[in-house]
């Protein structure tokens, strides 16, 4: 069923951030930074995959993401919902169910055998596709997925994620330059505010995270090993 009545954007962001903290999907560590996939250090880490194991929170966040897209884009804007391999696949299935639309998924690269396809499922020419993923940092992986979708003759102008870093200024302009609009529930700023309210971490850790969020590139340069 398509959700219709939900809190405003700010309240959705606050609630989403609190839910991520509640299930420990986010973590802060100011003394031993996490190493990201890029190889760069960070005092913050988020794992949205944890959501699949918490049905009440999972369902609420999927309702929030569905209504966010409907509010921002429209109720009849899409013909297909595609998930990005791998973390986006379960969330795209849940969104597709709510929108009563076909679900597909996009591989990071071709299999190298069989049909050698990047799109799994049925995606038709002229389909208007919503790309769903768990999160975005700088938007780079979204562009690759969108290009694979467009190669089928379908269009893809929107991507929806649960979590958006919200600290790299180039992310949304880069997506926009490729004709992609980003929709999200919350950012690191929302999580930091929620963590302060909940006193989820000590003051030193929260202060260090705030330094990182205000100047991420400089912080990473100073903490490279």
For 83-135, write each residue's pLDDT tens digit. 999 999 999 999 999 999 999 999 998 765 556 689 999 999 999 999 999 99
- Residue 75's pLDDT band, with cuts at 50, 70 and 90, is very high
> What is the reported pLDDT for 184?
98
- Residue 50's pLDDT band, with cuts at 50, 70 and 90, is very high
Q: Is the pLDDT higher at 225 or at 199?
A: 199
Indicate the domain borders of the chain.
Answer: 9-205
- Residue 3's pLDDT band, with cuts at 50, 70 and 90, is low
% residues pLDDT > 70 (the chain): 95
> What is the reported pLDDT for 53?
98
> What is the reported pLDDT for 79?
98
- 139: nearest Cα among 104, 181, 107, 108: 181
> What is the reported pLDDT for 116?
60
Task: Look at residue 138 and tell me whether its pLDDT is greater than 90.
Answer: no
> What is the reported pLDDT for 140?
81
- Burial environment of residue 12 by CB neighbours within 10 A (0 to 12, 13 to 18, 19 or more): buried
Segments of the chain assigned E as strands? 26-28, 34-35, 41-42, 44-46, 80-84, 103-106, 119-120, 128-136, 155-164, 181-186
| CATH class label, 9-205 | alpha beta
Mean per-residue pLDDT, 17-21: 98
Edge-to-edge strand list for the sheet holding 80-84: 119-120, 103-106, 80-84, 128-136, 155-164, 181-186
Task: Provide the mean pLDDT of the chain.
Answer: 93
* CA 155 to mean position of chain CA atoms: 20
157-207 pLDDT, tens digit each: 999 999 999 999 899 999 999 999 999 999 999 999 999 999 999 999 999
> What is the reported pLDDT for 224?
83
- Residue 145's pLDDT band, with cuts at 50, 70 and 90, is very high
- 70/50 Cα distance (integer angstroms): 25
pTM given for the model? 0.93
- 62: nearest Cα among 84, 93, 18, 101: 93
- 145: nearest Cα among 131, 135, 127, 157: 131
Mean per-residue pLDDT, 53-66: 97
- Residue 141's pLDDT band, with cuts at 50, 70 and 90, is confident
Task: Look at residue 60 and tell me whether its pLDDT is greater than 70.
Answer: yes
Q: For the packed helices 9-22 and 55-73, what is the interaxial angle rounded to 10 degrees?
A: 160
- 119/131 Cα distance (integer angstroms): 12
């Amino acid at each position: 069923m398509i959700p219709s009545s939900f809190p405003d954007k700010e309240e959705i962001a606050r609630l989403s951030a609190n839910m991520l903290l509640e299930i420990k999907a986010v973590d802060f560590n100011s003394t031993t930074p996490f190493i990201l996939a890029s190889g760069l250090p960070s005092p913050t880490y988020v794992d949205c995959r944890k959501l699949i194991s918490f049905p009440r929170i999972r369902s609420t966040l999927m309702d929030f993401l569905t209504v966010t897209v409907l509010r921002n884009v429209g109720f009849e804007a899409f013909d297909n919902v595609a998930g990005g391999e791998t973390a986006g696949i379960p969330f795209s299935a849940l969104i597709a169910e709510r929108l009563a639309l076909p679900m597909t998924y996009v591989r990071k690269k071709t299999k190298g055998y069989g049909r050698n396809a990047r799109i799994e499922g049925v995606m038709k020419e002229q389909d208007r596709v919503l790309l769903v993923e768990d999160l975005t940092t700088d938007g780079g992986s979204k562009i690759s997925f969108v290009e694979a979708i467009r190669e089928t003759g379908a269009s893809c102008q929107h991507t929806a994620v649960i979590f958006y870093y919200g600290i790299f200024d180039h992310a949304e302009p880069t997506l926009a330059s490729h004709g992609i609009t980003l929709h999200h529930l919350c950012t690191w700023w929302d999580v930091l505010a929620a963590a302060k309210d909940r006193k989820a971490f000590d003051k030193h850790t929260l202060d260090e995270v705030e330094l990182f969020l205000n100047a991420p590139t400089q912080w990473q340069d100073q903490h490279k090993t």
